[in-house]
């Protein structure tokens, strides 16, 4: 064996250089290919995600106030209006959209283009919510209101009356805070449920309806002459007392022109310490109102019976109109102390300054009957 050292064979740089370059090029091209395929796949995914969903039936979608654009995107995907909320959110940012979306109930259909969805949300192109509509006549009591709403299948009567008897704050309503904390009130909210025609959402609860009605009283009071509260206080009245007088006027008067005059008579009798002796308060004291009161009815033991108690009853006996509230606030200055309903069908009254004159008016009224 030849153990002598051998010289290394010379390296062929000329032959290996091109081969190495080809390998590097293939690696680079492969990487580029992978990147291109990956980018194409991402682009295809984004493009596909932004395509409209399959057409389908319209969907009603409620967007609450304060909902962010990202939350709207999630709602749209959840309801099948868009394919991918994640991609849609970036699309909104790219298009500088989403800041003008408006709350409300929308009708959107699967298959809508993204720009059409965005335009509808920006425009606030909402659909009207299903509503209920009811009218509370002037002079209705809490019980009559509950009966009417129950007959129209809008409330559970027992639940409504239980709520009306509670000492709830009733949201931001202000006038209702004037109710005194006394045990003699027949119905706590009597007089505070303003008589009006209301339109509310179909799913409104008994509590929603009460809040709406007591809040309506606040809105109506804002229509009274400026400074009315100071005028009320100068007369030494609380708002609860004012509303009580207004309810008496409401139940006693039909003709608008007589409201302030009857309020003046009530004021005069209170000043002179006379019992009001108003039939409507006796009717309110009874379990069921009667078409005609008898002498025995005037003896009913109730704090609302103004034939037996002096001054005003504990609270209103019905829901007064704004006209009656204004009449109670600004009664007509008069010397009249009595009035009796004419029986000639006009529903007006005969007024008297003295009791003897009042008796003559009663006879006169009876003569015109029938």
Which phi and psi (to 5°) does residue 256 adopt? Answer: -55, -40
Q: Which of 72, 105, 123 is where one domain is finished?
A: 123
**Cβ–Cβ under 8 Å, residues 101 and 69:** yes
pLDDT at 1 (0 to 100): 46
Has this prediction a pTM greater than 0.75?
A: no
Position 196 in a domain: yes
Q: Are residues 68 and 79 in the same domain?
A: yes
The H or E element spanning position 340 is: strand 338-341
pLDDT at 305 (0 to 100): 95
Q: Are residues 119 and 75 in the same domain?
A: yes
Position 42 in a domain: no
Q: Number of folded domains in the chain?
A: 4
Which phi and psi (to 5°) does residue 134 adopt? Answer: -150, 155
Q: Are residues 136 and 119 in the same domain?
A: no
Residue segments in the chain with a per-residue pLDDT below the cut of 70: 1-20, 25, 27, 29-30, 33, 37-40, 42, 369-370
Q: Are residues 315 and 339 in the same domain?
A: no
Position 16 in a domain: no
How far is it, in rounded angstroms, from Cα 6 to Cα 26? Answer: 37
Position 34 in a domain: no
pLDDT at 40 (0 to 100): 65
How far is it, in rounded angstroms, from Cα 197 to Cα 227? Answer: 28
Q: Are residues 261 and 357 in the same domain?
A: no
Q: Are residues 117 and 163 in the same domain?
A: no
Domain that residue 105 falls in: 59-123
How far is it, in rounded angstroms, from Cα 175 to Cα 164? Answer: 15
Span 139-188, pLDDT tens digits: 999 999 999 999 999 999 999 999 999 998 898 999 999 999 999 999 99
Q: Are residues 237 and 271 in the same domain?
A: yes
Position 82 in a domain: yes
Q: Are residues 329 and 252 in the same domain?
A: yes
Q: Are residues 180 and 139 in the same domain?
A: yes
pLDDT at 271 (0 to 100): 94
**Cβ–Cβ under 8 Å, residues 60 and 106:** yes
As a whole number, the mean pLDDT across the chain is 89
pLDDT at 13 (0 to 100): 47
How far is it, in rounded angstroms, from Cα 328 to Cα 175? Answer: 16
Span 298-322, pLDDT tens digits: 888 999 999 999 999 999 999 999 9
Position 135 in a domain: yes
């Amino acid at each position: 064996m030849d153990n002598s050292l051998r010289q290394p064979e010379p390296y062929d740089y000329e032959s290996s250089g091109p081969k190495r370059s080809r390998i590097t090029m293939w690696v680079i091209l492969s990487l580029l290919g992978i990147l291109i395929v990956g980018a194409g796949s991402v682009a295809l995914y984004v493009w596909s995600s932004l395509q409209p969903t399959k057409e389908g039936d319209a969907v009603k979608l409620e967007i609450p106030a304060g909902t962010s654009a990202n939350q709207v995107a999630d709602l749209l995907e959840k309801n099948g209006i868009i394919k991918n909320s994640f991609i849609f959110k970036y699309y909104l940012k790219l298009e500088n959209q989403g800041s003008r979306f408006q709350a409300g109930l929308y009708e959107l259909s699967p298959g809508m283009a993204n720009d059409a969805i965005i335009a509808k949300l920006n425009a606030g192109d909402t659909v009207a919510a299903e509503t209920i509509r009811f009218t509370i006549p002037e002079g209705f009591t809490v019980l009559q209101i509950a009966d009417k709403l129950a007959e129209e299948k809008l409330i559970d009567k027992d639940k409504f009356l239980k709520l009306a008897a509670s000492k709830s704050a009733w949201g931001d309503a202000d006038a209702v805070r004037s109710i005194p904390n006394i045990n003699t009130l027949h119905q706590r909210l009597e007089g505070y449920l303003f008589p009006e025609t209301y339109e509310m959402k179909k799913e409104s609860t008994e509590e929603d309806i009460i809040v709406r009605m007591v809040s309506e009283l606040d809105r109506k009071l804002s229509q009274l002459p400026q400074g009315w509260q100071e005028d009320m206080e100068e007369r030494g009245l609380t708002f609860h007392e004012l509303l009580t007088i207004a309810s008496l006027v409401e139940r006693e008067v039909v003709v608008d022109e007589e409201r302030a005059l009857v309020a003046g008579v009530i004021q005069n009798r209170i000043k002179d310490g006379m019992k009001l002796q108003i039939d409507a308060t006796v009717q309110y004291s009874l379990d069921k109102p009667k078409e005609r009161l008898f002498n025995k009815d005037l003896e009913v033991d109730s704090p609302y019976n103004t034939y037996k108690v002096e001054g005003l009853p504990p609270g209103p006996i019905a829901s007064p109109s704004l006209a009656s509230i204004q009449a109670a606030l600004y009664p007509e200055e008069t010397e009249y102390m009595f009035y009796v309903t004419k029986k000639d069908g006009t529903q007006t009254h005969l007024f008297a300054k003295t009791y003897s004159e009042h008796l003559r008016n009663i006879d006169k009224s009876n003569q015109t009957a029938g």
